[in-house]
Amino acid sequence: MIAQTLTPTMTESRAADSAISVLDDIGNTPLLDLTPFARSCGASEHVQLYAKAEWANPGGSVKARAAFKIVEEAEADGRLGAGQTLIDSSSGNTAIAYALVGAVRGFPVHLVMPKNVSRERKALVKAYGATLIESDPLEGSDGAIRLVREIVAADPGRYFYADQYNNDANWRAHYEGTGPEIWRQTQGRVTHFVAGLGTTGTFVGAGRFLREQNPAAQLVAVQPEDELSVIEGLKYLPTAITPGIYAPSMVDRHMAVSAETAWDVTQALARTAGLFVGFSSGAAVAAAVQVAKELPHTADGVVVTLLPDDGSKYVSLGLFD
Give DSSP secondary structure letters for 234-265: ---GGGSPPPTT--GGG-SEEEEE-HHHHHHH
Q: Which amino acid is at 183?
A: W
pLDDT in tens, 162-180: 999 999 999 999 999 999 9
Q: What domains are there in the chain, each with its CATH number?
A: 9-56+178-317 (3.40.50.1100), 63-161 (3.40.50.1100)
Per residue in 284-316, pLDDT (tens digit) is 999 999 999 999 877 789 999 999 999 999 998
Alpha helices in 186-295 (DSSP H): 201-213, 259-273, 279-294
H-type helices in the chain, by residue range? 9-14, 35-40, 63-77, 93-105, 119-127, 140-154, 168-173, 179-185, 201-213, 259-273, 279-294
Half-sphere exposure of 168 (CA within 13 A, CB side): 1
Helix (H, G, I), strand (E, B) or coil at 5: coil
Q: Which residues pair with 309 in a beta bridge?
A: 61
Under a CB-based contact definition with an 8 Å cutoff, are residues 41 and 293 in contact?
yes
- The residues annotated with a catalytic role in the active site are 63, 280
| Residue 255 and residue 290 in contact, taking contact as beta carbons nearer than 8 Å | yes
pLDDT one-digit tens code per residue, 206-250: 999 999 999 999 999 999 999 989 898 899 999 999 999 999 999
pLDDT (0 to 100) of residue 300:
87
State the average pLDDT over residues 38-59.
96
